[in-house]
Structure 1
Amino acid sequence: MRFLSQKTSVAYATLLVTSFIILILQIILASYLRAYLKLPFLSVSFAFLGLSSAGLVAYYYFRDLTLKQLLFKVQALLQVFGILLIFYFCYFFQNTIQSQINPLVNLVLQDQIPTDQDVRSFFAAVYKLSFSNGLYFSLCFFVVGLIFSLIYKFFSEEAAKLYFYDLCGATLGCVLGSYLLNVVEISTIPILIALIAFIFALLINLRGEGGRLGVMSSAICALLAGGLLLSNTVSDAFHVRIENEVWSEWNAYSRVTLVKKGFDEKSGEMEYKFMLDNGAGIAHVVKFKPDDPYRLKPFEEFSAATLAFLKGTPDDMLVLCAGAGNDMVESYSYSRGRTDITGIELNPLIVKKARSTEEFHLKEFFERDGVHMIVAEGRTFLEATDRKYSVVLYSWAGSPRNTYLGITANTSQFLYTREAFLRVLNILKDDGYIGIVNGNKLKLLGSFKKSFAALGVDDISAHVVLVAPRDIVEAGIRSNMLAPVDNARLLVKRTPFTAQEVRLIQSNAGKMDYLLVYAPHTDGLDLHSNSLEAAKLIRTVTAARDVRAVLTDLSNRQLADYRPISDDKPFLDNYYHLPSLLSIGFWKDYFAGNSQLAFSHHLLHFYNFAFVLVLILAGALMLGATLLIKRREVRIRRDLPWLYFFSCLGLAFMFVEISFLYQFILYLGNPIYSFSVILAGVLFSLGLGSLASDKLCGSRRLNLRTIAILCAGILVAGYVYIPWVITRTLGMGLAWRILLAFVIILPTGFILGMMFPQGIKLVGRINRNLLPLAWGLNGYLSVIGSALSIYLAPIVGFSGLSLIGAALYVTLVLIPLGMPEEG
């Protein structure tokens, strides 16, 4: 209580606590957006939308306040924030999520292929769900944003220390938020946040700022939140169930749900599948039969595991994206236990539940000799292992939402880049090969071309075999290969396929009613005429000297993106091709209502694009209205450069932050870990820079223009050294990678952290009433930056976003910033 008795200490404590709780809230929102929309970093947009709106409102309505008035408003706003969270989880969450989820998962449960109308309805519901929840969270951030605006305005001379405590609280929130996702039910966390807000409001009221009514209201709210927390912990009262659910749990990776598929007619047993993020991904369950371990025979019907046996029984194999061990059980049966099988699965919840469900007998299977189920991120395992395999099988991976949305934060996409393929080729035995089920094969072949080129092989046409179901080939395999749902199966061998191997593959594939689409040594083989047509396209890609030019030309003609993918642009399922918008043909199809690949992808991106446009227009209108209404108070020559300064800071910093977050998904193996760890590191280093800025700038060693040049310089340096460090240390343990990530971003964050507090201090001396407006514009441009990055990343790459940020910092050197003594 003595700590809260000092004027500035109250401000520091308030910012520390509020930053702590809203960063936990932002991580929860990121988890929801990842689960339902596959775009977790849009949580940044919604957060800054609320925070920046609060800055503009504070500029309009809150002018000169006394300390007592300030603290009264702070405690009241904290209570409102907590009430909003409790209302959300008692009513809003239940009504929005529950009403939308069951319709969304029906197709997944029934293993149905969605029609175009299903896809559009699906995404309309997903966007409605995500944006309605995101906007509600923005309201919560708005309330907290009012607290920030009022405190920064009242204590503008303490901006550097305030910013430090602000960022320290945010750092703690990032760290604790990701931890809580793994240890408690996700619906419990916001109630816990509300409880913290009520308790802190009670502490302020006990100082006498809110009177008896304030003490009573905050105490009652705290008791209510405590009761709800206990109720949800004991009875899981706020858990949202979906149809046929047996079990469900969240962790930092996803929401994992075990559901019943129905009775299998052959066995008469109930079948199960694991569903990730309410249908975003599927992991089928094949039960192990200890009394009949070899009951499954190869080539009776197609499964991903059959790709590993098309040219004989391998001595050993590696299964990536192993899920619940489906392919491992089948491969063990196909080989009659002779193949040594290693499976890699990222999500520990799937493996844990698969092991613990006695009906599946998978615990016994995973403990058999020659069977190794490893919980690890795929790329990290590939970089760390020195073992060589006969077959590396890419099992089913990705998400139905990836197929239609494209730009996602799934870690599995980093297994399909040219860098990943190069590593896989290096861990293959001389006669080994790779089998891939899903993903567009033209994109993959372009990436393989780049990988083989690093090994000195320019023409890979003899290293590739493709097979596809007979009905797909007869319907037109070439057009199928240009579609997002590509039914061709790809084999890529380290050494050229022999004629004998091609004949064996054709024979075994034929047993499953699969036909050769492309292979070397096909003279004398009976090939379908449609396969011959597709083979010309594949031959052009695999033998091209400049494969990127070939696929770029194809992209321009098909109005969709087929270019090779890399770690910097790992968008396997993205077909969004910006030049298509400039094509007359695209717009003819659009207005004619033709359902084609480009139309479907661009239509779904329009949801995000419309969101960005609305934000830009809203920001422009609010700024214009503010300058018009307050024209007597705003001096254009003095104030407009400062408004640009804070707007540019918001936009530039957001490009840098999103660049870091995306680049470190691969490095840390999880988008939520990247979000929490990298954001914590960025915020902590920003705080250190803020704390040091008073001393460095106060001694005249630095000014804002010098700092802006330093910011641009270190971002350009990071463009070079960050990818270099990530590539060479990816195989290290997670703890070391987290430590290295902190070290990598520390100098950048330290320098960037000096700009904002020094700007706040100088503007406070020139025109204190301008501070909330500057805060609001900074936030609005941050919203726009986070949303625009989704479109810019496929064009410039993740690292390229930081270069855009560097260019924006350079512009700050050119604007005429008025200093206090000039006002």
Structure 2
Amino acid sequence: MMSIDLDRRTCWGMFTISLAGLMYELILTRIFSVLMWYHFASMAISLALFGFSVAALLVQLRPGWFPVERTGRDCSLCSFGFALALGTMFGLFVLFRLQPQFAFKVLSFFHQPFYQPFQQGFYNKGVPFGLLPVLALLYLVTALPFFFSGLAVTLLLRRYLRQIGRLYSWDLFGAGAGCLLIIGVLLLVGGISGLPLIALFGLLAAFLFLPRPGSRGVRLLLAGAALVLVGLTVGNLATDFAGVRFVRGRYEPNLLWSAWNSFSRVAVYPSRGEELQQAWGLSRTYRGPIPEQLGMVVDDTGYTTMYRWRGEETLDYFRSNVIALPYQLRGGGTGLVIGPGGGKDVLAALASGADRVTALELNPLIARAVDDQFVAFTGGLYRRPDVELVVDEGRSWIRRQQRTWDVIQASAVFGRMAPSAGAFTLSENNLYTLESFADYWNHLSDNGVLSISRFIFERETLRLVSLGLAFLQQQGVADPAAHIAVIKERGLANFMLKKKPFSAAEIARLRAISARLAFQEVLLPDRREGDDPFHRLVRSGGDAAFHDEFPFDISPTTDDRPFFYYMYKPADFLTLFTFPDKSRFEDRAVLILRNLLVVVAVLTLVCIILPLLIWQRKALRLPGSGRRLFYFACLGLGFMLLEIGLMRRFILFLGQPIYALAVILFALLVFSGLGALLAGRVPRGGERRLLLPLLLVLVLLSQGYGYGLPPLLDALLTLPLAARCLLAGLLLAPLGVLLGFPLPLGMRLLHPDNRDVAWSWGVNGATGVLGSLLAVVVAMNWGYTLTLLAGGLVYLLALLAILSRRSAAFG
């Protein structure tokens, strides 16, 4: 096939459609997190896989439908289809707003039974048969934009294979830009209004792909469609006619306020009567007034409450909560509250005599709601002279401080907030690790108390005790159990770890307060004879034998394996098929991840492998075909394993999780694009000679990052944020450049006749999406260091494919 020049308009078209595709995938994770229990946000990954895979498969099986000479026109049509599909998605939310009962029928299956929309008692665990066609149609409609963008990219790669280094670099540059741009889109217009805005990029790509003498009518059509999309965006911002009116699985027509940022949607609504009575941790002996409350929800399930400020009138309400115990034990002092939300913990501290409270909040929208939008209701809680508000990520900010507090508190901080980057950046996990306990310990006063509240009916409180025991043993404490107390009331347990052992007078004071308020003792230092799991754990000292015998994994979490809420043992993950009927609802996250992994694997088999085995059997018999597919499968899988493993290394360093997403993904994609651009300058015939040392260096460097980055980043943590972002990008530059070489060089080496490009590209994309889920599974069970190691091993397998003596027969 003759060489075809790659013009600048085509490059910009590739940039734009790749940018739009990545923005759509990221905005889907946000929208799913608001509409459904957040674990379904990962469904965006399977949707992307389905759309890209079907597109690549179609080009492979029906190449005659897409003549090479019509590539520009076909890509323009695909980009227009992308924009039209996004417009259809927007129309779905208009339908949800006009017909909320329809939305209920679709969404109710995805919520826990005690937060069902419209009604109570919807406990059907299965999917109603009549709903299956609707869910299938919604899945296809949601995947359609990925199909069109994947089709455009596949057609371009097939046509311009000889310039693939340059073309692939524009693909990566566009995806990198999308990582940054989606942050601005979410901040400016939110999730739903962002759909027509992203569709505008699809129209821009359609214009760029048009042949230069393109029809005037087509250009007018694109201009008209752009005006419609702008009108939809502006109109929805002005009237909210497609706005999401669901909170905690309920349709909420009386929504008082809602706003989006790059990693959440926060909504405020009137608290219902039953919610006012669900005062977790409130003494059952309390008979005073109940403060007027407003519910505030982050995405779908991250719930907190704002309280009407009435001076001293209702302060006894907060003194009577189990979370106030550490202040009452000490008699005041200074406090640091991590994740104060609507302000309950801050009010409890002030009501119990705290001199000054630092409120460390991750989400600026929550602070905005308390201090600006509802300032008349809350009395400007975070503006008080005895309250200091800090908006930052907890661990990162604490590490940079040189001061101490008498009480450091984290009461039921949202543990299941939606992931900022799909499925792998749960920032709250960083709050509950051995390393985090060291950070808190170093910032406690000599007689300070670390107080963490969790729901007693969940297993997390046991893990907190396990963490406390292990940490104190690391500190060389002779009797760790003497530093730990757990008191509960109304489902909420307060875990307290003291820097000095609890004295006899302090234990007596805790018992006196608990008796007066009818709190229940779970664990105190002077009683260790109970037969419940808490006392057995303490008596064992948290040794390996106890953890091995306990049915769930409550072993201490670390920064390398920070999944505090994941409590299945590694050997049990693949046996979860037997668990659903026995599991609590909070375990559904793991079941969904397991099921999603299976679904994506099956989609890969059904949508790519099986059709090729049926219709491309002759091609499979050609020498080297299997090794060629194996090589590109390794690249897709290895890239995601390394990317996710590296992203976790930078979360603490950069602070806000969204910075880790933006900076790390942007740096890896852009520098990989630079590597692909340099690969395009490699002389013909030199691909194999360069790939061998390059892959070896890539593997060695990636493992060096795994072991060398943590101490380096810890040492530089006090730098300003801008310097840390710049440094993170520079640190990733060498590995990013190397990651950009293998795919374009492999395409040139293994596809000299331009045949079966779509096949290899589809396999690479499918295993890449599969790798994003597999990386989470590996990290959850064995840690991020092993995730990076697994990524390096997969690239070694790709190296072995190139080293094979039969590799010359690939083409």
TM-score by length of 1: 0.85
Task: State the Cα distance separating 1:668 from its structure 2 match.
Answer: 3.4
Task: State the Cα distance separating 1:355 from its structure 2 match.
Answer: 1.0
Task: State the Cα distance separating 1:208 from its structure 2 match.
Answer: 2.9
Task: State the Cα distance separating 1:301 from its structure 2 match.
Answer: 3.1
User: Which of the numbers 540, 547, 554 marks the counterpart of 1:552?
Assistant: 547
Is it true that 1:488 corresponds to 2:493 in the alignment?
yes
Pair 614,375 (structure 1): closer, same or farther in 2 beyond 3 Å: closer
Quick check: 2:57–2:762 contact (8 Å CA) kept in 1?
yes
Task: State the Cα distance separating 1:87 from its structure 2 match.
Answer: 0.7
Matched position secondary structure for 2:562: coil
Matched position secondary structure for 2:618: coil
Residue number in structure 1 paired with 2:70 = 69
Please give the residue correspondences for 1:271-290 in structure 2 after superposition, counting only pairs within 5 Å: 271-278=293-300, 280-289=301-310
**Alignment partners' CA distance in 1, 2:359 and 2:137:** 39
Pair 619,821 (structure 1): closer, same or farther in 2 beyond 3 Å: closer
Task: State the Cα distance separating 1:11 from its structure 2 match.
Answer: 2.3
Residue number in structure 1 paired with 2:249 = none
**Alignment partners' CA distance in 2, 1:680 and 1:776:** 23
User: Which of the numbers 766, 769, 775 marks the counterpart of 2:761?
Assistant: 775
Matched position secondary structure for 1:574: coil
Deviates more, 1:70-79 or 1:350-359: 350-359
Task: State the Cα distance separating 1:313 from its structure 2 match.
Answer: 1.7
User: Which of the numbers 139, 148, 160 marks the counterpart of 2:144?
Assistant: 139
Pair 162,124 (structure 1): closer, same or farther in 2 beyond 3 Å: farther
**Alignment partners' CA distance in 2, 1:721 and 1:73:** 47
**Alignment partners' CA distance in 2, 1:132 and 1:311:** 58
Pair 85,326 (structure 1): closer, same or farther in 2 beyond 3 Å: same
Quick check: 1:449–1:458 contact (8 Å CA) kept in 2?
no
Task: State the Cα distance separating 1:645 from its structure 2 match.
Answer: 0.6
**Alignment partners' CA distance in 2, 1:425 and 1:364:** 31
User: Which of the numbers 160, 164, 170 marks the counterpart of 2:169?
Assistant: 164
Is it true that 1:148 corresponds to 2:153 in the alignment?
yes
User: Which of the numbers 435, 450, 453 marks the counterpart of 1:419?
Assistant: 435
Pair 427,640 (structure 1): closer, same or farther in 2 beyond 3 Å: same
- Which one-letter code corresponds to 1:180 in the other structure? V
Pair 580,691 (structure 1): closer, same or farther in 2 beyond 3 Å: closer
**Alignment partners' CA distance in 2, 1:769 and 1:433:** 67
Is it true that 1:728 corresponds to 2:746 in the alignment?
no
- Which one-letter code corresponds to 2:307 in the other structure? V
Residue number in structure 1 paired with 2:270 = 260
Residue number in structure 1 paired with 2:403 = 387
Deviates more, 1:439-448 or 1:797-806: 439-448
Please give the residue correspondences for 1:73-92 in structure 2 after superposition, counting only pairs within 5 Å: 73-91=74-92
Deviates more, 1:39-48 or 1:182-191: 39-48
User: Which of the numbers 614, 619, 626 marks the counterpart of 2:604?
Assistant: 619
User: Which of the numbers 207, 216, 220 marks the counterpart of 2:212?
Assistant: 207
Deviates more, 1:72-81 or 1:268-277: 268-277
Pair 103,270 (structure 1): closer, same or farther in 2 beyond 3 Å: farther
Pair 270,126 (structure 1): closer, same or farther in 2 beyond 3 Å: farther
Task: State the Cα distance separating 1:392 from its structure 2 match.
Answer: 0.9
Task: State the Cα distance separating 1:144 from its structure 2 match.
Answer: 0.8
Task: State the Cα distance separating 1:435 from its structure 2 match.
Answer: 1.2
Residue number in structure 1 paired with 2:595 = 610
Task: State the Cα distance separating 1:90 from its structure 2 match.
Answer: 1.1
Task: State the Cα distance separating 1:660 from its structure 2 match.
Answer: 2.6
Residue number in structure 1 paired with 2:750 = 763
User: Which of the numbers 671, 676, 689 marks the counterpart of 2:662?
Assistant: 676
Quick check: 2:695–2:799 contact (8 Å CA) kept in 1?
yes
**Alignment partners' CA distance in 1, 2:784 and 2:268:** 35
Residue number in structure 2 paired with 1:341 = 357
**Alignment partners' CA distance in 2, 1:429 and 1:238:** 51
**Alignment partners' CA distance in 1, 2:731 and 2:114:** 41
Deviation sequence 1:211-247 (CA, Å, 0-9, x none)? 3553343333223223222322332322111314111
**Alignment partners' CA distance in 1, 2:805 and 2:128:** 46
Residue number in structure 1 paired with 2:338 = 320
**Alignment partners' CA distance in 1, 2:383 and 2:228:** 48
**Alignment partners' CA distance in 2, 1:20 and 1:684:** 12
Matched position secondary structure for 2:271: strand
- Which one-letter code corresponds to 1:229 in the other structure? T
Quick check: 1:299–1:508 contact (8 Å CA) kept in 2?
no
Pair 617,353 (structure 1): closer, same or farther in 2 beyond 3 Å: closer
Structure 2 residue runs of 5 or longer lacking an equivalent are: 97-101, 247-251, 278-287
Task: State the Cα distance separating 1:132 from its structure 2 match.
Answer: 7.7
Deviates more, 1:446-455 or 1:505-514: 446-455
**Alignment partners' CA distance in 2, 1:299 and 1:333:** 7
User: Which of the numbers 231, 234, 251 marks the counterpart of 2:238?
Assistant: 234
Please give the residue correspondences for 1:627-666 in structure 2 after superposition, counting only pairs within 5 Å: 627-666=613-652
Please give the residue correspondences for 1:564-603 in structure 2 after superposition, counting only pairs within 5 Å: 564-580=556-572, 593=581, 595-596=582-583
**Alignment partners' CA distance in 2, 1:60 and 1:730:** 52
Task: State the Cα distance separating 1:120 from its structure 2 match.
Answer: 5.1
- Which one-letter code corresponds to 1:221 in the other structure? A
- Which one-letter code corresponds to 1:226 in the other structure? V
Deviates more, 1:681-690 or 1:47-56: 47-56
Residue number in structure 2 paired with 1:526 = none
Quick check: 1:51–1:146 contact (8 Å CA) kept in 2?
yes
Pair 458,50 (structure 1): closer, same or farther in 2 beyond 3 Å: farther
Quick check: 2:417–2:426 contact (8 Å CA) kept in 1?
no
Deviates more, 1:325-334 or 1:685-694: 325-334
Deviation sequence 1:559-618 (CA, Å, 0-9, x none)? x221111112111111223433688xx98887xx5x355xx6766634433333333234
Residue number in structure 2 paired with 1:737 = 724
**Alignment partners' CA distance in 2, 1:91 and 1:160:** 39
**Alignment partners' CA distance in 2, 1:258 and 1:492:** 34
Residue number in structure 1 paired with 2:509 = 504
Residue number in structure 2 paired with 1:246 = 256
Matched position secondary structure for 1:237: coil
User: Which of the numbers 167, 189, 194 marks the counterpart of 2:194?
Assistant: 189
Matched position secondary structure for 1:245: coil
Pair 572,382 (structure 1): closer, same or farther in 2 beyond 3 Å: same
Pair 205,779 (structure 1): closer, same or farther in 2 beyond 3 Å: closer
Deviates more, 1:14-23 or 1:435-444: 435-444
**Alignment partners' CA distance in 1, 2:723 and 2:342:** 28
**Alignment partners' CA distance in 2, 1:695 and 1:563:** 51
Residue number in structure 1 paired with 2:473 = 453
Quick check: 2:51–2:147 contact (8 Å CA) kept in 1?
yes
Residue number in structure 1 paired with 2:315 = 296
Is it true that 1:9 corresponds to 2:27 in the alignment?
no
- Which one-letter code corresponds to 2:600 in the other structure? L
Quick check: 1:63–1:769 contact (8 Å CA) kept in 2?
no
Matched position secondary structure for 1:437: strand
Task: State the Cα distance separating 1:124 from its structure 2 match.
Answer: 13
Pair 333,347 (structure 1): closer, same or farther in 2 beyond 3 Å: same
Matched position secondary structure for 1:429: strand
Quick check: 2:372–2:380 contact (8 Å CA) kept in 1?
no
Structure 1 residue runs of 5 or longer lacking an equivalent are: 473-485, 524-528
TM-score by length of 2: 0.86
Quick check: 2:637–2:768 contact (8 Å CA) kept in 1?
yes
Deviation sequence 1:146-187 (CA, Å, 0-9, x none)? 111111111101011111111111111111111221222222
Please give the residue correspondences for 1:687-706 in structure 2 after superposition, counting only pairs within 5 Å: 687-695=673-681, 700=686, 702-706=689-693
> How many percent of aligned residue pairs carry the same amino acid?
24
Residue number in structure 2 paired with 1:481 = none
**Alignment partners' CA distance in 1, 2:425 and 2:127:** 19
Is it true that 1:38 corresponds to 2:59 in the alignment?
no
Deviation sequence 1:336-364 (CA, Å, 0-9, x none)? xx521111111111111211245645454
Matched position secondary structure for 2:487: strand
